[in-house]
Amino acid sequence: MRPACAVAAQVLDDITGYIKPGLTTQQVDEFAAERIAAYGAKSAFLGYRKYPCYTCLSVNEEVVHGLAGGRELRFGDIVSVDVGVRHGGFIGDNARTVAVGGCGVAAQQLMEVTERSLYLGIAAARPGNRVSDISRAVQDFVENHGYSVVREFVGHGVGRSMHEEPQVPNFVDTGMNDRLRPGMTIAIEPMVNAGRPDVKRLKDGWTIVTTDGSLSAHFEHTVLITDGEPEILTWAGKTPFKSKAA
Ligand code: MF3
Ligand code: CO
């Protein structure tokens, strides 16, 4: 898992460094395709249930699974960039929301709370704890800041397949609640709306947006449960590996 996650993290870093006003999301996805190939990896998303793009690029009120296309990114937009790669038989999955050039305080605070909720969730990913300890850490922090967590999409186990057990909700659920064990690798991925939690799917069949049109942010890491502290596998620059120049 470590090399696959290192590539996923590096590609995400490359893409967020590339994003600027005036680019279309199609151009960003083409850049992503080039970077994934440069590290000798493959997109884990392209072709997954017929998903048509290399990455997910979700702008402003788009929550997740935004399709690349002719939309031009404008100064002040926020973009959630989700990157999953397959490398050496394993999958690394990570996401981050970034501002295009800059953004307003409301967007910045939403991104900051979402990212901090991810790290609180990660801190709860310790052996002996259960999945619900992660969920609770994320949900409490988000809701204490007046935002809401999306219910329809959840984090997940990740390994040789992108979506493995267990599901990792960003809210406390009454369903399955596995105990966390050393060696498990899970993707923790809070999706946080500035307004109501409700989302809907656009007619393109993929893009998920907030029903009330409010902004949404998404941060994700693939994490290894160890005997002690969790290890964040999708940390850019963590593992040295060869690539062609950016
Ligand atoms: N990171 C997302 C997930 O874990 C992205 C899946 S997009 C898809 O579910 F297109 F591949 F479905
Ligand atoms: Co994921």
Here the CATH number for the domain that contains residue 184 is 3.90.230.10
The first and second tokens of residue 38, run together, are 């440069």
Closest atom of ligand 1 to 187 CA is 4
Instruction: Spell out where 73-230 has E strands.
Output: 78-87, 90-99, 148-149, 155-157, 164-168, 185-188, 191-193, 199-201, 208-210, 216-218, 221-224
| Strand 56-59 relative to strand 216-218, pairing | unpaired
Question: What's the structural domain count of the chain?
Answer: 1
pLDDT confidence of residue 244: 59
What are the distances in angstroms from CA 2 to CA 32, 77, 88, 90? 20, 32, 10, 9
HSE-up of 232 (CA within 13 Å, CB side)?
20
Closest atom of ligand 1 to 153 CA is 9
Mean pLDDT over 44-58 rounds to 98
The first and second tokens of residue 148, run together, are 């809401």
Mean pLDDT over 223-238 rounds to 94
The answer to whether 94 and 222 have CB atoms below 8 angstroms apart is: yes
Residue 51 has pLDDT above 80, yes or no: yes
Q: What is d(CA 130, CA 152) in angstroms, rounded to the nearest whole number?
A: 20
Least confident segment among 145-149, 154-158, 162-166, 240-244: 240-244
pTM of the entire predicted model:
0.96
Give the Å distance between the CA of 80 and the centre of ligand 2. Answer: 12
**pLDDT, averaged across the chain:** 96
pLDDT confidence of residue 242: 62
The answer to whether 65 and 80 have CB atoms below 8 angstroms apart is: no
Q: What is d(CA 182, CA 5) in angstroms, rounded to the nearest whole number?
A: 18
Give the Å distance between the CA of 136 and the centre of ligand 2. Answer: 18
Pocket test for ligand 1, best of 152, 162, 219 (most atoms within 8 A of CB): 162
Give the Å distance between the CA of 66 and the centre of ligand 2. Answer: 14
Give the model confidence (pLDDT) of 95-118 as tens digits: 999 999 999 999 999 999 999 999
Residue 241 has pLDDT above 90, yes or no: no
The amino acid present at 73, given as its one-letter code, is L
User: Among residues 173, 170, 160, 159, which one has the least CA distance to residue 225?
Assistant: 159
Give the confidence band of 198 by pLDDT, cuts at 50, 70, 90: very high
Percent of the chain exceeding pLDDT 70 equals 97
Ligand nearest to the CA of 67: 1
Q: Which domain holds residue 17?
A: 2-245
Ligand nearest to the CA of 188: 2
